[in-house]
Amino acid sequence: MWVQRLLGRSLGELRLGRQISARIVNESNIEVQPASGDKPLTFPGVWLRDNCQCDDCFHGSSKSRKLDWDRFDTRIRPVDLQADELAQEVVVRWSDAHESRFPLKWLRDRSFEERRQAEYLRDFYRPPTRHWSGAEFQEIARHFSYDEVMAKDSVLMHWLQALAVHGVALLRGAPLDEGVVRRLAERVGFIRRTTYGEEFVVQAKPGAQNFAYLSLPLPLHTDLPYYEYKPSVNILHCVVQTESPGGSNMLVDGFHIADILRRDHPEDFDRLCRVLVDWNDIGSEDGREFHNIWRAPVICLDSAGRYTRVNHSVPQRDSHFNVPLEEVLPWYESYARFVRLAIADSHAFKTQPGDVLTFNNIRLLHGRAGYDDSEESPRYIVGAYLDWDIIYSRLRVLKKKLHSDSDADADSELGSQ
Amino acid sequence: MFQADRRDLACHLIRLDSPKELDHPRVVQVPDPDRQDMQFPDIWLRDNCRCKECYLPQTLSRLPQLWNNLDTSVRVLRQSVDVEQQVLYIEWSDGHASQYPYNWLRERDFSAANRQRYLSEFYRPEQKLWSGQNFEEVRRVFYFQELITSDSALLQWLQHLAVYGVALVKEAPLEMDVLRRLSNRVGFMRRTTYGEEFSVRAQPGASNYAYLAAPLPLHTDMPYFEYLPGVTLLHTLEQSASPGGVNLLADAFYVAEMMRERHPNQFRALCQTPVDWADIGSDGDLQFHNIWQAPVINLDAEGRCVRINHSIPQRDSHFSVPMEQVRPWYEAMATFVGLAQEHSCRFKTTPGDVLTFDNLRLVHGRTGYDDTDRNVRHILGAFVDWDIVYSRLRVLRNATAPGAP
């Protein structure tokens, strides 16, 4: 695991003071061989100079580069190399007369080898997602105890990791007070505020301005597709569940539906990736009017063709549709196929009081069956959002902390021997 | 086609031909007496039926039943218009009947001109790019009290910010809640790992580079977030009496366009090379390790600039690209940084100023200053997101231009 390498003490290596060799290649790059027999690592000279770790070039307490880029010369060349075996460092003298020292471990962690970079991105940056069909829901949906998530960092980490990989996780045994979603969000970082405030209550409100606040069936959708910065993760705390047969939750992995389209209906897939749809929400909350619009395709891809987001909401799709006339009908046909596939694949279950359902709103579609709302059969859900920026940050901090804790345990075991 | 002539208007209701099947299959053509005929795809009209079964006025949104199994082959059986009442009537092959008011249709006409009008006037105003050498033409001053009390002043400010990416607010009180009041006028603040409001003054040993008195080269704030804060608000409480502490600003979209034209290969390198942006530290009890991997110049599917990432201190030493992309990226970046310097403008805010700018588009910085007990500089900062700014702009526009959607 990359993190273990990042934090591993490599005590054996240091004590042995293994032989390092380093040489300049192609006049500008540096090749380092950590020990004889190891595969050499090559680093671009210009990148090394940019990342000099000395006090003039790097600000330690903010962990930030402070090199003067107004004077940075990309033609910089290494002119001399030394290996400090005692300190396990490579010492570089540059054509601008500057000298830099790079610890071997620091260099290894930043290797330009493709495999190492892929590991870093996968283990530390953002874990890759695993897509699932509705039939696989029981296998992939992990359960955690709310109390353990609140008390143990390792359980917190596993919850967030499951959420990142599968896009859904269920917490159980939460108290039935309205502060649960806030406490949980603050365990991770902080609540993402939207036009609807920080926490929101989903219960039947006749005359509500938002469709979700009615007791009607709520078909599959993503929340707030009309935001450029769509809230990332939904936290839905079930406080009271209706006694009526309705009110079930439905979930679908939108990335899985996109996979099916990509494989079986490539033209529909392309259209849903390309045609910009106007998503909107017009209304007011606490006396503040809003008119949100964001134009984006149903399936959003990054430049490498990876999914970055799914948008879907029947009520929040604007009647304004700013595309050329001839694109409209084909788009409807493709979108209708997407919706049919999603409905066919959706998994239904009913949360119980004390359950906290958490899922990735960038990726999953969710909905609920209609229910009879009466005084004898109310339903009361408290919700809030978290953003992925904040979740991934927390996950990285936990990974570093838990791995260094386990290293510290390992060190103390060594010491007692 | 519009068959009836003006003499038939007495009966109000005009039968129209069945939808055209020629160049554009299944298009409903609607005559508009004063202008060009409007055109609408039939499936779109069916999807946007305004009746009580299909549309819920209290939420201003479509009811979803139709979509449980949408029939995209639905056809128009009969259509007619009431020219006097300005309504289009349609009877559908699924037995449903719809009516659409003309003013609603006009807003949504599929002509290229109408779509363009809607996008640039209502969705998001078109940006105008500038060089720092012409900053005087772009510079516009607004007054804090007017922004708080007048909706039209508020609209002008947000519009200017959207179009030029920068606006200066003057005569704000020297109080701690100025940014909160201003943000609440727009919507609400965007919270980050540094909290809602932040205070920029020299703090020896600070964990963020901006909190030092050293020169702060041009940068965007928080490039290490996927959700980059949209608009930066900086309220000057105290300004350094030393010659330093001067603000630098450059329109990085202008610089990017310049590179697209003059250095196309370097432009491509900056658009295609993913860079690791990072911030590791803590604020209060919250430890963070933020990383976002993205190019310096980010384009949308149509090739327009949508976001710039640039920060020398917040660029990670991890650089997850193949070796051979490294040097070309550095060379392109050096060009970008040089051009941004060359096209930046300089000015020094004074106490009571609130500098507001688009953090997705502009790069900002400050020169170094001498920080001593008698020579302090104290700036308060906060962010508001563009989602919230544009929403407010649309609401204000509707209030001042009745009849909009």
Q: What is the pLDDT of residues A369-393, one digit of tens each?
A: 877 777 667 889 999 999 999 999 9
Q: Could you give the C-alpha distances from A62 to A66, A105, B99, B281, B289, in angstroms and in order? A: 10, 20, 63, 7, 12
Whether residue A165 is contained in a domain is answered as yes
Task: Output the pLDDT for position B24.
Answer: 47
Greatest distance between any 2 Cα atoms in chain A? 82
Coil vs helix vs strand at A403:
helix
Task: Output the pLDDT for position A273.
Answer: 98
What are chain B's domains?
6-115 (3.30.2020.30), 132-399 (3.60.130.10)
Contact B388, B185 (CB under 8 A): no
Cβ of B209 and A189 within 8 Å?
A: no
**Chosen domain end from A124, A152, A187:** A124
Regarding whether A143 and A119 lie in a shared domain, the answer is no
CA B163 centroid distance within chain: 9
Cβ of B108 and A321 within 8 Å?
A: yes
> What is the rounded CA–CA span in Å between residue B81 and residue B86?
7
**A42 contact partners, CB below 8 Å, separation of at least 6:** A25, A29, A30, A31, A32, A112, B323
For residue A305, count other CB atoms closer than 10 A to its CB.
8
Task: Output the pLDDT for position B25.
Answer: 61
**A37 contact partners, CB below 8 Å, separation of at least 6:** none
Contact A76, A46 (CB under 8 A): yes
Regarding whether A195 and A103 lie in a shared domain, the answer is no
Strand bridging mode B305-308 / B197-200:
unpaired
Q: Percentage of chain A surpassing pLDDT 70?
A: 90
pLDDT at A82 over 50: yes
Whether residue A409 is contained in a domain is answered as no
Cβ of A211 and B61 within 8 Å?
A: yes
pLDDT tens-digit profile of A328-366?
999 999 999 999 999 999 999 999 999 999 999 999 999
**Chosen domain end from A72, A97, A124:** A124
Whether residue A33 is contained in a domain is answered as yes
Backbone angles phi and psi of B59, in degrees to 5: -105, 0
Regarding whether A140 and A18 lie in a shared domain, the answer is no
Q: Which of A105-109, A411-415, B367-371 has the lowest mean pLDDT?
A: A411-415
Regarding whether A101 and A189 lie in a shared domain, the answer is no
Regarding whether A155 and A57 lie in a shared domain, the answer is no
**B342 contact partners, CB below 8 Å, separation of at least 6:** none
**Chosen domain end from A104, A124, A144:** A124
Whether residue A175 is contained in a domain is answered as yes
- Rg for chain A (alpha carbons), in Å? 26
CA distance to partner chain A, nearest, from residue B10 (Å): 32
Whether residue A352 is contained in a domain is answered as yes
Contact B314, B223 (CB under 8 A): yes
Cβ of B24 and A289 within 8 Å?
A: no
Residues forming beta bridges with residue A103, ordered by sequence position: A89
Chain B 365-404, CB below 8 Å of chain A: which residues? Answer: 385-388, 390-392, 394-395, 398
Cβ of B322 and A114 within 8 Å?
A: yes
Regarding whether A152 and A83 lie in a shared domain, the answer is no
> What is the rounded CA–CA span in Å between residue A108 and residue A117?
11
Task: Output the pLDDT for position A6.
Answer: 43
Tens digit of pLDDT per residue, chain B (405 long)?
333 333 333 345 566 655 554 444 689 999 988 788 999 999 999 999 999 999 999 889 999 888 988 999 999 999 999 988 999 999 999 999 999 999 999 999 999 999 999 999 999 999 999 999 999 999 999 999 999 999 999 999 999 999 999 999 999 999 999 999 999 999 999 999 889 999 988 766 666 666 667 788 999 999 999 999 999 999 999 988 888 889 999 999 999 999 999 999 999 999 999 999 999 998 888 899 999 999 999 999 899 999 999 999 999 999 999 999 999 999 999 999 999 999 999 999 999 999 999 999 999 998 887 766 666 889 999 999 999 999 999 999 998 765 444
**What value of ipTM does the predicted structure carry?**
0.90
Regarding whether A151 and A201 lie in a shared domain, the answer is yes
Q: Could you give the C-alpha distances from A357 to A37, A218, B14, B307, in angstroms and in order? A: 52, 17, 55, 34
Regarding whether A304 and A175 lie in a shared domain, the answer is yes
- CATH code, domain with A366: 3.60.130.10
Regarding whether A152 and A98 lie in a shared domain, the answer is no
Q: DSSP secondary-structure letter at A113?
A: -
Whether residue A412 is contained in a domain is answered as no
Counted residue by residue, chain B has a size of 405
Backbone angles phi and psi of B244, in degrees to 5: -85, -160
Cβ of B318 and A295 within 8 Å?
A: no
Task: Output the pLDDT for position A215.
Answer: 73
Please give the residue of chain A at the shortest CA–CA distance from B227: A229
CA distance to partner chain B, nearest, from residue A75 (Å): 9
Chain A 260-289, CB below 8 Å of chain B: which residues? Answer: 274, 276, 278, 282-283, 288-289
* Mean pLDDT on A167-177: 97
**B100 contact partners, CB below 8 Å, separation of at least 6:** B45, B48, B50, B87, B88, B90
Q: Tell which wins on pLDDT, B35 or A142.
A: A142
Domains of chain A: total: 2
Cβ of A325 and B206 within 8 Å?
A: no
Counts for chain B of helices (H) and strands (E), in that order: 11, 22
For residue A416, count other CB atoms closer than 10 A to its CB.
6
Task: Output the pLDDT for position B4.
Answer: 36
Q: Taking Cα atoms as reference points, which of B224, B111, B316, B306 lies closest to residue A300?
A: B306
Contact A354, A168 (CB under 8 A): no
Contact list, A320 vs chain B (CB under 8 Å)? 107-108, 118, 405
Task: Output the pLDDT for position A405.
Answer: 78
Q: Spell out a b/e string for A111-128, using b for 16 or more CB atoms within 10 Å of the CB, else e.
A: bbeeebbebbbebbbbbe
Contact list, A190 vs chain B (CB under 8 Å)? 191, 286
Contact list, A340 vs chain B (CB under 8 Å)? 69
> What is the rounded CA–CA span in Å between residue A341 and residue A395?
33
Whether residue A401 is contained in a domain is answered as no
Q: Spell out a b/e string for A274-291, using b for 16 or more CB atoms within 10 Å of the CB, else e.
A: bbbbbbbbbbeeeeebbb
pLDDT tens-digit profile of A192-246?
999 889 999 988 776 677 777 667 788 999 999 999 999 999 999 999 988 888 8
Regarding whether A76 and A50 lie in a shared domain, the answer is yes
Regarding whether A153 and A116 lie in a shared domain, the answer is no
> What is the rounded CA–CA span in Å between residue B315 and residue B278?
6
pLDDT at A416 over 60: no
Mean pLDDT over the full length of chain A = 90
CA quadruple B369, A54, A52, A72: dihedral sign: positive
Task: Output the pLDDT for position B84.
Answer: 87
Give the nearest partner residue to A332 out of B43, B59, B398, using CB atoms. Answer: B43
Strand bridging mode B197-200 / B286-294:
unpaired
Instruction: Scan for tokens 């009209």, then name that residue.
Output: B45
Contact list, B392 vs chain A (CB under 8 Å)? 290
- CATH code, domain with A75: 3.30.2020.30
Cβ of A65 and B44 within 8 Å?
A: no
Contact A226, A280 (CB under 8 A): yes
Chain A 290-349, CB below 8 Å of chain B: which residues? Answer: 290-295, 303, 314-317, 319-326, 328-329, 332-333, 336, 339-340, 343
Task: Output the pLDDT for position B258.
Answer: 98
Task: Output the pLDDT for position B206.
Answer: 62
Q: Taking Cα atoms as reference points, which of A189, A302, A100, A59 lies closest to residue B314?
A: A59
Q: Taking Cα atoms as reference points, which of A225, A221, A244, A213 lies closest to residue A367?
A: A221
Whether residue A7 is contained in a domain is answered as yes
Cβ of B25 and A274 within 8 Å?
A: no
Token readout for B22 is: 């020629």
Count CA atoms within 13 Å of residue A291 on its CB side.
14
The domain of A35 spans: 2-124
Q: Taking Cα atoms as reference points, which of A289, A277, A275 lies closest to residue A318?
A: A277
How does DSSP assign B80-137, residue by residue? EEETTTTEEEEEETTS-EEEEEHHHHHHH---HHHHHHHIIIIISPPP----GGGHHH
Regarding whether A29 and A164 lie in a shared domain, the answer is no
Contact list, A189 vs chain B (CB under 8 Å)? 193, 286, 288
pLDDT at A10 over 70: no
Q: DSSP secondary-structure letter at B195?
A: B
Task: Output the pLDDT for position A9.
Answer: 39
pLDDT at A1 over 90: no
Q: DSSP secondary-structure letter at A257?
A: H
B22 touches chain A (CB under 8 A): no
pLDDT at A12 over 50: no
CA quadruple B170, B172, B173, B175: dihedral sign: negative
